[in-house]
Amino acid sequence: MPAAIEQIESFLDEKKALACVHCGLCLASCPTYLETGNENDSPRGRIYLMRSIQQGRLSLDATVSPAEHIDRCLGCRACETACPSGVQYGALLEHTRDHMEHTMRRPWFQRLLRRVMIEKVFPYPNRFRLALIPAVWAKRMDIGHLLPQFLREALNLAPDSLELRKLPECSPAENLPSKGRIGMVSGCVMPVLFGGTHQSTIRLLNRLGYDVVIPRDQVCCGALYAHSGQLDMARGVARVNLQAFDRADCDTILINAAGCGSTLKEYHHLLEGDFRERDAAEQFVGKVRDLSEWMDEVGWKALDALLEKGRRLACGEKTTSPASLFGRPTTFHDACHLAHAQGITRQPRDLVKAVAGEYYVELPESEICCGSAGSYNLTEPDMAGRLQRRKVSHIRKTEAHIVVTTNPGCILQIESGLKQQGYVEVRVMHLADYLEAALQEAERL
């Protein structure tokens, strides 16, 4: 037993784990605990399991394995927001999952999903696009009912069509001289499924007077690797991105996907083992901003006069079209890795309210995960479905016509949930698309 303990001793920072005093204030914020009521599915329960694995008191290969409860964690980090002791739960989870992926053997389907789809397909836009073609074809042919249940659930998340949108390497500011140079992170899922959102983001930045560059040699941010327990792979792509954006010589590095943003802002922790890399990562992190965060900092009020025009005419004849964004009940869903990992909640709401005005309605449990959590809705479909239904139920209570959020996974998950329950008239929009569409509408009025 001592030898076994020594072998696994280094995977968990015991001081970080002991910061948890098991007070239970995190319980009400944990989505899985809210659903199951099982202490093992709570943050403090999982930390106890992590420490028990490290100390050799629990085995990952046991019949009743702690891995089941650790896998069930969404990694939403809502517990960090609630924790009075500042427990770094996200770091504990990632290092535990890294240990799990290198020491336990999963069932064949989970290995296929994790080692191939999540690690070899999703982070590569061209591969991801090719992998989606059969899913798009299956939806068009309406053959989903012939597939096994887990494939039907995955098919619900697939887009109805694929649209290739080539983004320019450099987009100049509308009004010269330029106020600055922004490097935009394109990501891996976003250019395949949300290329239009990237274009909306670029137009917003250009409107505000900034040049936008998209380095061609950037790669996946590493979030999919880090969250699935492949920290070495996450470090590898982080090093590539540090060099790519250093060559781009940007004043700001901007991201419009919350899940990617939280990982980008933690590169200095990911690469803390090497002093030179850590210094470069700290400089990189100092430039990274979420879209809503950046717009709040630079002052988006320059656009407010145009938005005020739309709000003023919201009850007039010019905005009676159902496609109008003005004068429609609108709510906002907090993407977990924006609200909890990055602590950004006010800024996107201010932007939504700038369009919705008095029609803005707060979403109950807005901060509770919708069940997407990166690839979670594929690896843990049962719990993802339960949280999806919970989120849709709260959206229904708001009677909103429009749901705005800041992460691609949330959009797919909420859209799918609304369609499954027959609420196809509710629009789910990325914040960038929402703002740019509102500005264009106001210009036409």
Supply the CATH number for residue 7's domain: 1.10.1060.10
Do 11 and 58 belong to one domain?
A: yes
Question: Is 98 inside a domain boundary?
Answer: yes
Beta-carbon contacts of 383 under 8 Å, excluding residues fewer than 6 positions away, are: 32, 35, 72, 74, 371, 376
Task: Write down the pLDDT at residue 5.
Answer: 42
* Per-residue confidence (pLDDT) for residue 285, from 0 to 100: 97
Any idea which of 50-59, 315-324, 371-380 has the lowest mean pLDDT? 315-324
Domains of the chain: total: 4
CA angle 187, 166, 125 (to 5 degrees): 35
For residue 10, tell me if it sits in a domain: yes
Averaged pLDDT for residues 223-251: 94
CATH classification of the domain holding 430: 3.40.50
Q: Say what the pLDDT of residue 310 is.
A: 84
Compute the Cα dihedral for 231, 235, 237, 241 and give only its sign: positive
Q: Looking at the domain assignment, is residue 146 inside a domain? A: yes
Instruction: Quote the percentage of the chain above a pLDDT of 90.
Output: 66
319-330 per-position pLDDT tens digit: 556 778 999 999
What is the band of 6 on the pLDDT scale with cuts at 50, 70, 90?
A: very low
Angle at 9 between CA 7 and CA 15, to 5 degrees: 175
Whether 12 and 78 map to the same domain: the answer is yes
- Mean pLDDT value of segment 435-439: 95
Closest CA to 34 of 78, 80, 97: 78
Domain contains 72: yes
- Residue 144 DSSP class: G
Residues 193 and 286 in one domain: yes
> Do 397 and 278 fall within a single domain?
no
Local confidence band at 141 (pLDDT 50, 70, 90 cut-offs): confident
Bridging pattern class, strands 211-213 and 170-171? antiparallel
Look up the domain containing 378 and give its range.
300-444
Amino acid identity for residue 97 in this structure: R
- Nearest Cα neighbor of 409 from 257, 268, 274 is 257
Helix axes 195-207, 431-444, angle to 10 degrees: 60
Could you tell me if 125 and 195 lie in one domain? no
- Region 4-24: mean pLDDT is 78
The pLDDT confidence band at residue 375, using thresholds 50, 70 and 90, is confident
Q: Tell me the pLDDT of the chain averaged across its residues.
A: 90
- Whether the per-residue pLDDT at 3 is higher than 70: the answer is no
Q: How confident is the model at residue 150 (pLDDT cuts 50, 70, 90)?
A: low
- Above 70 in pLDDT, residue 317? no
Residue that terminates a domain, selected from 103, 118, 135 = 103
- For residue 159, the model assigns a pLDDT of 78
Helices within 190-286 (DSSP H only): 190-193, 195-207, 223-227, 231-248, 258-264, 267-270, 275-285
Which of 381, 383, 376 is CA-nearest to residue 97? 376
Q: Which pLDDT tens digit goes with each residue over 63-106?
A: 667 899 999 999 999 999 999 999 999 999 999 999 998 888 88
pLDDT tops 60 at residue 1: no
- Identify whether residues 95 and 12 lie together within a single domain: yes
Whole-Å CA distances, 337 to 82, 200, 322, 358: 14, 21, 32, 27
For residue 8, the model assigns a pLDDT of 52
Of 253, 273, 293, the residue that ends a domain is 293
Is there a single domain that holds both residue 241 and residue 330? no
Kindly indicate the confidence band of residue 235, based on its pLDDT and cuts at 50, 70 and 90.
Answer: very high
Tell whether 225 is covered by a domain: no
* Mean pLDDT, residues 387-391: 96
Question: Taking 70 as the threshold, does the pLDDT of residue 217 lie above it?
Answer: yes
304 within a domain of the structure (yes/no) = yes
Q: With respect to residue 197, please indicate whether it lies within any of the assigned structural domains.
A: yes
pLDDT digits (tens, 9 = 90+) for 27-47: 999 999 999 999 999 999 999
Q: What is the mean pLDDT of residues 20-25?
A: 94
Q: Which residue would you say has higher pLDDT here, 228 or 434? A: 434
My answer on whether 260 and 346 are in the same domain is no
Tokens of 166: 């080539």
User: Which DSSP state fits 75?
Assistant: -
- The confidence score (pLDDT) of residue 309 equals 84
Do 34 and 119 reside in the same domain of the chain? no
Same domain, yes or no: 313 and 437? yes
349 belongs to a structural domain: yes
Examine the domain organization and report whether 151 and 182 are in the same domain.
no
Highest mean pLDDT among 175-179, 381-385, 404-408: 404-408
Calculate mean pLDDT across residues 328-356.
96
310 and 439 part of one domain = yes
